[in-house]
Structure 1
Amino acid sequence: MRVAEHAVWGRDVPVRYLLVQEDLDGVEEYWGRCAGVEGLFVDKVPPRREVLTLRGCTPEGALRDALAPDGAATALLGDLCVEVWDEEQPLQWWTLVDTVVLAHRPNRKDPALVDVVLGAGVEPETAWAHTLPTVPAFKVFAGTTASALPAGPCQDVEGLFVPRHGPPPVPMHLVGCEAAEPLRALLGRRRRHDRDWVQLWALDRHGRVMYRHSVYLRIETARPSVLGTDLLDITLTDGGDQRPLLARPVWETWYQGVPTAPNQWAPLTTEARHEWLELTATGAREQHPDRTGGVHHLDGRFVTDHPGLYCALAEALVGPGNYFGREWNAFRDCLGGGFGIAAPFTLVWHDSHIARRTFEDDVSEEGLTYFEEIVQLLEQRGATVDLR
C-alpha cells in the first residue's frame, strides 16, 4: 500500500491518520483516513492498592535496606517485579506498583527468614505458563526493566493469586473520517461488533508514518462528522494500548518532520524520552545499507537515564531521529548490522563521566555497571570507544 496515495485530500484540514489492516502475510489494506483522533493519549489508571505479604524471605538490596533496624533507609521501594519459578525457569512475573513496606517480622517457621507486609498496586500477570508447580519459588527484583536488581528470594507471596479485573477500555473517537470500502462494508452491517484489529497510522505533516497504533475495531457509533456531513465521526469501544498524556507534545514535535537537530530530546523527562524512542522505532522498517569506519561523536552531557543513553547513542551512530535500539537487547541486535552502521568504527564519548555516574549503582552480577557493560558490548562488536 502506498501511503502517499492516501495522505492528501482536497479539504481544509490535513490527513493526520490512516486506518490500515495488515494480514498475517504482511499485506496491507487501506480502510480509511481521518483528520483527528481523541482518546489516543490517556494516562493509565493505576491499579487499586492491595496488601500482600512476602513469606519466608531472604532480603537483598533495596528490600534488605528497607528493613534495616536503624530505620535510616526508606520504606518506599517503587516498582517491584515478582517472578514465579519452578526448578529451572520463571513461569510468571508480576509487577507491584509503587510498593511500600508496611511492616515486617521474623517468619514463624524459620526465624532466620523474614515476612514482609507490602502495600502495592498489582498489575495483571504476564505468564509463560499458567500451571504453577507444586512448590513454586519466588524471586523479587527492585525495578521492572532488564537492569532490575535482586531484592531476594521468598517462599510465598500471600495475596498475589486472587482474581483481578483491569480498568474498563477507553473509547477512541475518530474525527472526520473518510471510509474506504472495507470500513464502509463493516459500517453497513446490522451488527458491527467484529473482533478485528486495525492499525491507526499517525502521519506527520509531510505524509510520513510517525507511529503505528493497534485499535480494536468494535464500533459504538458512526454519525455525520462535525467537519462535514460527507465525513464520519466514529467511536470505537476500545482504543487499544493508549499512549500517556506526556507523549502528546513529543508527537507534536515529530509532526513537523523527523528531527534533524541533535539533543531535541534532552529537556524531556525520562518517561517522555521513552516516547521519543518509540517514535524513532517506527523508522526501523526503513533500513539502509550499513556503513563502516569513520569517527562518531557522542554528546554525553544529557545521558542521565536509560532512554537518554539510547537517544544519545543513536544520534551519534545514525543521526538525530533515527533508530538504534531502545534497550539493551535491541541495541545489541542493531550492532549486528542492518540498521545503518556496522563495526569497525570509532565512537568518541564526550563527557562520559556523566553516564559513568548515572549508572554507578546499576551493577550486574558480573560486577560491571550498566555503563561499563555498554562500553564492553561496543568493543566486543568491533568498535573502538574513546572515553573523554
Structure 2
Amino acid sequence: MVADTERYDIVLGAGVRNEEGFFELPATPRFELFAGTTAAAASAGRCSAVDGLFRARMDPAPVPLELIGCEPAEPLLAALRRPRRSERDWAYLLVLDRHGAVMASRTVGLAITGARPSVLGGTLVDITLADGGHDRPSPAARPVWAQWHQGPPAEPHMWAPYDSQGRAEWLDLTTRDWRMPAPRPDRSGGEHHLDGRFVTDVPGLHCAMAEALLGPGRYFGREWNAFKDCLCGGFGVVPPFTLTWRDSEVARRAPADVVEDPLGRLSYFEEVVGLLEQSGVTVVLR
C-alpha cells in the first residue's frame, strides 16, 4: 500500500499479455486506466507506476494431439517419410458431420512425433502430433458437437438446455464455414419474433437473436461487435424490420450485470435494444 491515503494499489488478475513490440519507458512514465476497450471508454484514473508489465513470461508447453484412424493418403505419407521437412507446416483439421459437411476447423502443426498401425485396424494409421494448437474446444463442446454431428439443427431452442459455455460452443458452430463465406442476399421489412424464455445469459441472447432473424443454427453475431457488424448487412437480413421480443423481462433481468456501455449506465440487454433501434429496427418488448 502506498503512503498516500488518497491512493490505492490495485492487483489485476490476468491483466497483462505478451506483446510483440517492447519499448523503453520514459524517465517519468504516466499511466492511465480506462474502463473499457473501445475508443469511447471512460477514464478510471491515473497510475504513477505499473509492476509486471515488462516481465518475460514462459509460453505454455505444447500438448500433443493424437490422430486416430488416419487414411494414409500420399500427402500424409510424404509427411511421414520426411517428418523433419513437415514439422514447420500447418494444416486444417476439419470436423465433419455425418453428411460430410464442415462443422468446425482447428489449425494444427505437422510436427509428427510418432506413427503406428491404427487401433482401428486395416490400413489406417494413428499419428501423434507434438502440438495440438491453442484453440482446442472445451469439454463443454463435446455434447454440442455430438448433437450437430447429426446435421445442422432444424428445430428452435435446441441450444436452450446448455449452460453458458455450451451455448458459446453452439455459437461457434453457427460459423461452421471454415472459409470466408460469401455475403448472403439481404432481406428487410416484415416482422420477426424472438422467444425470450431462455435468454438467461449473453450467449443465449445471441442464439435466440439469430434464430429469430434467420432460423435455427444460423449466425448473426456472437458478441457485441460481431452483432453490430451483422446489422450492417451481408448475413441474410438487414434493417428496417420489426422485432417482437416476447418474455423480454427474462433477458432484462438475467444478464443485467453484463455491461457493454463504458460509462456503466446500461446493461447488455439495454445496449442491444438501443443498437437495434439506432439501426432502424422497430423493437416491441413484451
Q: Which residue of 1 aligns with 2:51?
A: 158
Q: Which residue of 2 aligns with 1:217?
A: 110
In the alignment, the residues of structure 2 paired with residue 145 and residue 322 of structure 1 have an alpha-carbon distance, to the nearest angstrom, of 28
Q: 1:263 aligns with which of 123, 146, 157?
A: 157
Query: How far does the alpha carbon of each residue in 1:60-114 deviate from its partner, in whole angstroms, 9 at most, with x for none?
Result: xxxxxxxxxxxxxxxxxxxxxxxxxxxxxxxxxxxxxxxxxxxxx4x22x33101
Cα shift at 1:193? 5.1
Query: How far does the alpha carbon of each residue in 1:120-168 deviate from its partner, in whole angstroms, 9 at most, with x for none?
Result: 5x476143743254215152759x999x998754333334433322431
For the structure 1 residues 302 and 152, does the alpha-carbon distance in structure 2 shift closer, same or farther, using more than 3 Å as the test? farther
Aligned 8 A contact 1:138 1:156 in 2: no
Q: Which residue of 2 aligns with 1:226?
A: 119
SS of the aligned residue for 1:368 comes to coil
* Identity percentage of aligned residues: 54
Aligned 8 A contact 1:291 1:342 in 2: yes
- The answer to whether 1:131 aligns with 2:23 is yes
Q: Which residue of 1 aligns with 2:63?
A: 170
Cα shift at 1:190? 5.9
Q: 2:99 aligns with which of 200, 206, 230?
A: 206
Corresponding pairs, count: 278
Q: Which residue of 2 aligns with 1:276?
A: 170
Structure 2: stretches of 5+ with no match in the other structure: none
Q: Which residue of 1 aligns with 2:205?
A: 309
In the alignment, the residues of structure 1 paired with residue 267 and residue 20 of structure 2 have an alpha-carbon distance, to the nearest angstrom, of 29
Aligned 8 A contact 2:71 2:124 in 1: yes
Q: Which residue of 1 aligns with 2:131?
A: 238
Structure 1: stretches of 5+ with no match in the other structure: 1-104
In the alignment, the residues of structure 2 paired with residue 340 and residue 357 of structure 1 have an alpha-carbon distance, to the nearest angstrom, of 29
Cα shift at 1:227? 1.6
Cα shift at 1:333? 0.9
SS of the aligned residue for 2:62 comes to coil
Q: Which residue of 1 aligns with 2:279?
A: 381
Cα shift at 1:202? 0.2
Aligned 8 A contact 1:192 1:219 in 2: no
In the alignment, the residues of structure 2 paired with residue 358 and residue 294 of structure 1 have an alpha-carbon distance, to the nearest angstrom, of 28
Aligned 8 A contact 1:124 1:164 in 2: no
Aligned pairs (5 A) from 1:51-90: none
For the structure 1 residues 290 and 324, does the alpha-carbon distance in structure 2 shift closer, same or farther, using more than 3 Å as the test? same
Cα shift at 1:181? 2.5
Structure 1 runs of 4+ aligned residues shifted over 6 Å read 148-151
Q: Which residue of 1 aligns with 2:5?
A: 111
In the alignment, the residues of structure 2 paired with residue 279 and residue 126 of structure 1 have an alpha-carbon distance, to the nearest angstrom, of 29
In the alignment, the residues of structure 1 paired with residue 56 and residue 20 of structure 2 have an alpha-carbon distance, to the nearest angstrom, of 18
Cα shift at 1:228? 2.2
Give me the TM-score of the superposition, normalised by structure 1: 0.65
Cα shift at 1:313? 0.5
Q: Which residue of 2 aligns with 1:247?
A: 141
In the alignment, the residues of structure 1 paired with residue 82 and residue 150 of structure 2 have an alpha-carbon distance, to the nearest angstrom, of 38
In the alignment, the residues of structure 1 paired with residue 116 and residue 87 of structure 2 have an alpha-carbon distance, to the nearest angstrom, of 18
- The answer to whether 1:189 aligns with 2:82 is yes
For the structure 1 residues 138 and 196, does the alpha-carbon distance in structure 2 shift closer, same or farther, using more than 3 Å as the test? farther
SS of the aligned residue for 1:340 comes to strand
Amino acid in structure 1 at the alignment position of 2:219: Y
Amino acid in structure 1 at the alignment position of 2:176: T
